Amino acid sequence: MINSSLKQLGQQLASKQVSSVELTQAYLQRMTQLNPTINAYVTIDEDKTLAQAKAADARIATGDFGPLTGIPLAQKDIFCAKGWRTTCSSKMLETFISPYDAHVISQFDAAGAVNLGKTNMDEFAMGSSNETSYFGGVKNPWDFDRVPGGSSGGSAAAVAARLCAAATGTDTGGSIRQPASLCGFTGLKPTYGLVSRYGMIAFASSLDQAGPMAKSAEDCALMLNVMAGFDERDSTSVNREKEDYTRGLAALTGEQPLKGLRIGLPKEYFAEGLSADVAKVIETAIAEYKKLGAEIIEVSLPNNNLSIPVYYVLAPAEASSNLSRFDGVRYGHRAAEYNDLMDMYMKSRAEGFGAEVKRRILIGTYVLSAGYYDAYYLKAQQIRRLIAQDFVEAFKHCDVIMGPAAPSTAFKAGEKTSDPVAMYLEDLYTIAVNLAGLPGMSIPAGFAANSEGKSLPVGLQIIGNYFDEARMLEIGHAYQQVTDWHTRMPEGI
Amino acid sequence: MKLRCAFKILQTINQNMALNLDDIKRIAHLARIEVSESEAQETLNKLSGILGLIEQMQAVDTTGIVPMSHSQDVTQRLREDVVTKTNQRELFQSIAPATQDGLYLVPRVIE
């Protein structure tokens, strides 16, 4: 049951072969057994969870249900959920009980989905290994010595270890796609503006976007159907008609279901920086796409190497502004002792934030400070346009872009923590997509054996044009019809 | 005018190259984060590394390029000027570190 697709689970619930309470209890039992080791969840509240499962069963009994009613999901602890502790994996919010629901949470509530708990993450989503969490790192279910990626590392491990049917994540610079690659599942970062950011604790508002993390493209489509949609409470929410992201999946049959599809391979994604074992898996996956009827075209994203420097100006700048709300006055951590108001701010923030969060606030404060704005912030915004234009140019020649989602397979815990810049390079293939606001996804494409002979998952990244999620999910689904990487589970779990 | 502007930017870049302990203290104060003497040196080292990465931008000629602040060309939506939220003061203050009579308590700021 734990390896079933969302569609299969939905059918079993609808035909009453299993109740939501039974299904939820099965996951809660796995969580009790495995979470102390993996540390995927930071907050579990069985009473709340089971109450939701009972309500879902009641809905199913009356016939008032949808595809996700009764399905147990994990929620990244960046989404405010009313009555739930919502921490963003920070000491700053260690005891914060949210008084309201994020849009994403209320959408899942309305759909009748069950919240299994809040998942671990890099503190305030700042990190690529989940090691900046105040609640400790998360183990990669494929190899406990390795990181799951980040920042959505808890959701990633929960999906990979089947501690949930599917999960939510957020992606500011690669935080859904890089962990999807490192943990071997399907993760989608939608077009900026498709999913409301209301109630999603802000990191870099012009880049942050929520998306689904699940076993397959089909599961992601079902999740996105619930998550996407206009919300007037988010000023950057895009007002467009609702889509059914599963609509084209069934039609992908025959020998060459992707005939006519033009796949662009950016030469910059296969240059220095990409490890050879990952490159090999990606090439094999591309060959599979050729068999499915796709045509391969070389494209260029000449400014891709500038995406990391640009990101580390813009994201910290926005973060320094967003995180100024944590002042120890209205909510969050307040220092026990202080001399005056200024001292209270300084000490509360020094105690409440971890090292990486402080670094980014300081960098952001610096680049926005008097005399430096033009040289840093304005310059970064100008180069951001160049990076976005590279994609506009590339999409004149192809329908989607493919490449790696991460430069290597999962690395060992502690390997990159002492050097922030080395950690930042993890997002070499994902950040430009956020800067341009485009949708991107990572699908399991195979395994690479590491030096110790262990097999670790590799993700193939698919980048689409604006609002082309339905097509991207079809392209992922077509591949998953002829491969079984997405059904693989870590041994012994 | 143009020359002076270019000179100023160059000067700024040169200053950036050498971030020092005083800069760290100034930035930390602006950010309202206490950085102890013992943490300052480590913070300086890490921030200098990150700024080194950021400096790669300076090699790009961006003359005449319009800055991009949003991925799509959208403008701020406006709404009718009517009340849309209800008062939930008690609920919101229930999670505050210190309140009294419906007010948030902070250290004395006016003597």
> B40 at the A interface (CB within 8 A)?
no
| Interface contact flag, A385 B66, Cβ < 8 Å | yes
Residue B70 is assigned to a structural domain of this protein:
no
Which range marks the domain in which residue A123 is found?
6-259+468-487
Picking from A324, A382, A386, A465 by the largest number of B CB atoms within 10 A of its own CB, the best residue to mutate is: A382
Residue B104 is assigned to a structural domain of this protein:
no
> B67 at the A interface (CB within 8 A)?
yes
Size of interface A-B (CB pairs under 8 A): 173
Q: Which residue has the tokens 């591949």?
A: A479
Distance from CA of B56 to the nearest CA of A (A): 7
The reported pTM is 0.95
The arithmetic mean of pLDDT across residues A127-151, rounded, is 97
Which CATH number covers residue A241? 3.90.1300.10
Number of domains in chain B: 1
Task: Report whether pLDDT(B11) > 80.
Answer: no
| Interface contact flag, A366 B23, Cβ < 8 Å | yes
pLDDT tens-place string over residues A439-471: 999 999 999 987 777 899 999 999 999 999 999
Q: Read out DSSP for A236-289?
A: T--------TTTTTTT--SS-TTTT-EEEEEGGGGSTTS-HHHHHHHHHHHHHH
Task: Report whether pLDDT(A336) > 60.
Answer: yes
The arithmetic mean of pLDDT across residues A138-163, rounded, is 98
Residue A242 is assigned to a structural domain of this protein:
yes
Nearest to A97 by CA among A331, A375, A335: A331
Structure tokens at B67: 């800055």
Task: Report whether pLDDT(B4) > 90.
Answer: no
pLDDT (0 to 100) of residue A253: 86
pLDDT (0 to 100) of residue B17: 55
Nearest-CB residue to A436 (from B54, B71, B95): B71
pLDDT tens-place string over residues A250-272: 998 888 999 999 999 999 999 98
pLDDT (0 to 100) of residue B2: 43
pLDDT (0 to 100) of residue A260: 96
Distance from CA of A96 to the nearest CA of B (A): 7
DSSP state of A410: P
Residue B76 is assigned to a structural domain of this protein:
no
Residue A167 is assigned to a structural domain of this protein:
yes
Distance from CA of B110 to the nearest CA of A (A): 11
Dist CA A269 CA A143 (whole Å): 26
Residue B52 is assigned to a structural domain of this protein:
yes
Q: Which residue has the tokens 């670094």?
A: A359
> A190 at the B interface (CB within 8 A)?
no
Per mean pLDDT, which range of A9-23, A173-187, B61-75 is the poorest? Answer: B61-75
Q: Which residue has the tokens 């999901």?
A: A73
Residue B39 is assigned to a structural domain of this protein:
yes
Which range marks the domain in which residue B48 is found?
2-59
HSE of A294 in the Cβ direction (CA atoms, 13 Å)?
25
Is the ipTM of this structure higher than 0.90?
A: yes
| Interface contact flag, B33 A350, Cβ < 8 Å | yes
A-chain residues within 8 Å CB-CB of B92? Answer: 99, 330-331
**∠ Cα A454 A148 A352 (to 5°):** 150
Residue B11 is assigned to a structural domain of this protein:
yes
The arithmetic mean of pLDDT across residues A302-327, rounded, is 97
Contact between residue A49 and residue A115 where contact means Cβ atoms under 8 Å apart: yes
> B54 at the A interface (CB within 8 A)?
yes
Number of domains in chain A: 1
Task: Show which residues of A are catalytic.
Answer: 76, 151, 175
Burial of B30 (0-12, 13-18, 19+ CB in 10 A): middle
Residue A131 is assigned to a structural domain of this protein:
yes
Nearest-CB residue to B71 (from A375, A383, A437): A437
Nearest-CB residue to B33 (from A338, A353, A420): A353
Structure tokens at A378: 């304005």
